[in-house]
Chain A
């Protein structure tokens, strides 16, 4: 069974600091996604990672994928308050009808 684990689940950090959120998954998957959710808002797609060694960056966020370790990281550089949100990772697999299997989410609070 495909399972996804994220850690930490809660993260309180100061502006200007760096931190990493980790996402492990249990069996082979095809694609790994990172989503962001602001309270009461939609889940917004941040990154889709397809292959081993893939790295994508958008602003202060950088996501990477190691398919051998079944691990993805979401690195936050020089955090700002606007990054406060809940971040989810999810995976899918063609043999699993492409339905998304989700982690619990990481609730990030960036404090001044």
Chain B
């Protein structure tokens, strides 16, 4: 069974540009989570989808971040326009049931210069 995949693995963009991160959860997992780790800080929750619906988006930093999960399969996280403080590693995780074990992807390392 394929695990959680994320694309790209690395992205380097300039301040003010737009970047879209993609996460493909494990097939059949209705729950999809985004987390972010900024250098030197703890991993922080961004948001949680159940199928295509946003269950909890309390961790989204501001309105420059837009997450979607059309059709309840893969998810995208768009940052527009990117700022320097958005640099970090963005992790995606999925679980079959809400509250079930979360399986993580390898992360996307975003660098904003």
Residues of A within 8 A of B (CB): 4, 35, 40-45, 48, 88, 90, 92, 94, 97-105
Contact = CB atoms under 8 A, between A and B. Distances in A.
Interface stretch (B13-21, B73-81, B100-108): B100-108
Interface residues of B, number: 25
19 contacts: A35-B104, A40-B9, A40-B106, A41-B106, A42-B4, A42-B106, A42-B107, A43-B91, A45-B102, A45-B103, A90-B43, A97-B48, A98-B99, A99-B33, A100-B33, A100-B43, A101-B45, A102-B44, A104-B42
Interface string B73-113: 00000000000000000010100001101111111000000
A103 B41 CA distance: 9
Nearest to A43: B104
A100 B48 contact: no
A105 B104 CA distance: 16
